[in-house]
């Protein structure tokens, strides 16, 4: 059965959420059937992977599309189906000595969603690993391959964010067999120095283990504490304003602009925020909004608005939300 009615939308904030329809894609032919179904029903639609980066409404009067293609083909390049789990792919690349994925270890979610916001962590973005992305275009009922260089990848952004008609069916990754690691990120170098680890003799799995240890000390596991990771993007400001933020961490972006730590900014105003019954900030990382599994969509958005407003009133900075808010 490809189409289910009144379907539960699984999401890592654990908001109770349903959609009118759920459409499962298992092969190319299903894509054409979906195209016809959408035209027949004339309802909004959205593709969802594992739901770790969405804010889901109580009821979505539309079609939730889910993809069930989890192949991993390792030939000249690595072709991976959209529903494969991202961290399982990272583990696979480590076993096969394919380099470049290790810094993105333990990021929750599916392979299909990963290019959408150009997932990144510890100095690496997925854009550097992608050769091309195989899609179905719901605007014209056709299949299309988009080269990595044409995906408009930026910090937490890609062409897929702008175009919800593009369903990602699989991703082609470079098959880099040359042993090289990216260990320049501050928290990685600090960890290596503090633990007297020899930079030059690190093995592939040891790099992933270092990343996993650093991540686990900062981010809550969504299986235990509902969350979507970072709730806001780090804001980018003009360097002419940098002197206002002397006490804050910043990273250069271009010659004229820098990125500020949204977590640090939010941490500095959290005592000004109203308290809510079912949502809060994670005690070890103010960029992460957590729930107690009982929060409603409205409560999450209300808390988000309080944070944005307080940041704007105090710093004249507009914070952009990272997860997709389904309306
Ligand atoms: C604890 C925690 C830590 C995290 N850490 C990081 C991190 O370090 N770096 C980082 O970048 N992110 C991080 N995230 C965010 C999240 O893991 C990623 O955004 C992930 O790629 C979401 O995958 P998903 O399958 O759950 O996507 P979903 O939440 O299901 O969807 C996210 C978006 O992608 C779209 N989408 C999903 N699948 C497809 C598809 N096949 N085709 C087209 N569009 C699609 C959806 O429409 C939606 O807009 C973290 C999240 C959590 C909970």
Nearest CA to ligand 1 atom 17: 108
Asked whether residue 192 falls in the same domain as residue 80, the answer is yes
Structure tokens given for 265: 């900014």
Which of 218, 237, 258 marks a domain boundary? 218
Q: Which ipTM was obtained for this model?
A: 0.99
For residue 237, report the distance from its CA to the centre of ligand 1, in Å: 25
Q: Range with the lowest mean pLDDT among 30-34, 215-219, 288-292? A: 215-219
Residue 214 makes CB contacts below 8 A (sequence gap 6+) with 122, 187, 188, 191
Give pLDDT, residue 3.
Answer: 87
Residue 165 makes CB contacts below 8 A (sequence gap 6+) with 137, 138, 139
CATH of the domain at 320: 3.90.78.10
Asked whether residue 243 falls in the same domain as residue 318, the answer is yes
Top mutation candidate among 229, 232, 261 for ligand 1, by most atoms within 8 Å of CB: 229
Active site residue 217: no
Asked whether residue 51 falls in the same domain as residue 96, the answer is no
Asked whether residue 47 falls in the same domain as residue 60, the answer is yes
Which of 169, 188, 218 marks a domain boundary? 218
Query: Distance (Å, rounded) from C-alpha 103 to C-alpha 125?
Result: 9
Which of 45, 67, 89 marks a domain boundary? 67
Structure tokens given for 97: 């000595």
SS3 91: helix
Query: Distance (Å, rounded) from C-alpha 127 to C-alpha 123?
Result: 12
Structure tokens given for 320: 């952009």
Q: Please pick, among 16, 91, 156, 261, the residue that the annotation labels catalytic.
A: 156
Residues framing ligand 1 (Cβ under 6 A): 12, 46-54, 67, 82, 107-110, 112-114, 116-117, 119-121, 160, 167-168, 219, 222, 227-229, 324
Give pLDDT, residue 4.
Answer: 87
Nearest CA to ligand 1 atom 14: 229
Asked whether residue 80 falls in the same domain as residue 185, the answer is yes
Asked whether residue 95 falls in the same domain as residue 46, the answer is no
Asked whether residue 43 falls in the same domain as residue 84, the answer is no
Q: Domain tally for the chain?
A: 3
Give pLDDT, residue 301.
Answer: 98
Asked whether residue 190 falls in the same domain as residue 251, the answer is no
Active site residue 283: no
Active site residue 322: yes
Query: Distance (Å, rounded) from C-alpha 37 to C-alpha 3?
Result: 10
5 — pLDDT class (breaks 50, 70, 90) = confident
In sign, the C-alpha dihedral spanning 74, 77, 78, 81 is: negative
CATH of the domain at 126: 3.30.465.10
Nearest CA to ligand 1 atom 50: 229
Q: pLDDT tens digit string along 176-226?
A: 999 999 999 989 999 999 999 988 889 999 999 999 999 999 899 999 999
pLDDT for residue 114 is more than 70: yes
SS3 4: strand
Structure tokens given for 102: 């290790």
**Mean predicted lDDT score pLDDT of the chain:** 96
Q: Please pick, among 230, 250, 258, 286, the residue that the annotation labels catalytic.
A: 230
Residue 31 makes CB contacts below 8 A (sequence gap 6+) with 25, 136, 141, 143, 167, 169
Asked whether residue 74 falls in the same domain as residue 212, the answer is yes
Closest listed residue to residue 215, CA positions, set 203, 230, 200, 201 = 230
Enclosing domain of residue 232:
227-325
Nearest CA to ligand 1 atom 53: 228
Q: pLDDT tens digit string along 52-82?
A: 999 999 999 999 999 999 999 998 899 999 9
Asked whether residue 94 falls in the same domain as residue 56, the answer is no
pLDDT for residue 260 is more than 90: yes
Asked whether residue 87 falls in the same domain as residue 203, the answer is yes
Nearest CA to ligand 1 atom 45: 113
Residue 67 · residue 158 · CB < 8 Å: no
Mean pLDDT value across residues 141-165: 96
Asked whether residue 197 falls in the same domain as residue 280, the answer is no
1 — pLDDT class (breaks 50, 70, 90) = low
CATH of the domain at 19: 3.30.43.10
């Amino acid at each position: 059965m490809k189409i289910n009615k009144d379907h539960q939308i699984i999401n890592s904030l654990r908001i109770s959420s349903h959609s009118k329809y759920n459409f499962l894609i298992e092969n190319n032919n299903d894509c054409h059937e979906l195209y016809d179904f959408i035209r027949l029903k004339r309802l909004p639609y959205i593709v969802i992977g594992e739901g770790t980066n969405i804010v889901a409404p109580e009821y979505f009067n539309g079609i939730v599309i889910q993809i069930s293609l989890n192949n991993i083909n390792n030939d000249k390049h690595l072709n991976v189906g959209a529903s494969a789990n991202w961290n399982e792919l990272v583990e696979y690349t480590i076993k096969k000595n394919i380099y470049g994925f290790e810094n993105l270890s333990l990021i929750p979610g599916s392979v299909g969603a990963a290019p959408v916001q150009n997932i990144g962590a510890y100095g690496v973005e997925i854009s550097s690993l992608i050769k091309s992305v195989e899609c179905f275009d719901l605007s014209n009922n056709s299949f299309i391959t988009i080269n990595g260089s044409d995906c408009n990848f930026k910090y937490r952004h890609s062409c897929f964010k702008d175009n919800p008609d593009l369903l990602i069916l699989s991703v082609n990754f470079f098959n880099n067999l040359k042993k090289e690691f990216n260990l320049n990120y501050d928290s990685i170098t600090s960890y290596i120095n503090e633990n007297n680890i020899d930079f030059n003799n690190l093995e592939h799995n040891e790099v992933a283990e270092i990343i996993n240890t650093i991540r686990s000390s900062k981010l809550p596991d969504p299986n235990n504490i509902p969350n979507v990771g970072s709730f806001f993007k780090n804001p980018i400001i003009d360097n002419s304003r940098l002197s206002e933020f002397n006490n804050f961490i910043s990273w250069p972006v271009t010659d004229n602009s820098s990125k500020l730590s949204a977590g640090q900014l939010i941490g500095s105003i959290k005592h000004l925020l109203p308290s809510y019954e079912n949502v809060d900030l994670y005690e070890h990382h103010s960029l992460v909004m957590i729930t107690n599994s009982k929060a409603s969509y409205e409560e999450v958005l209300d808390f988000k608005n309080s944070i944005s407003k307080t940041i704007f009133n105090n710093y004249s900075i507009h914070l952009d939300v990272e997860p997709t808010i389904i309306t």
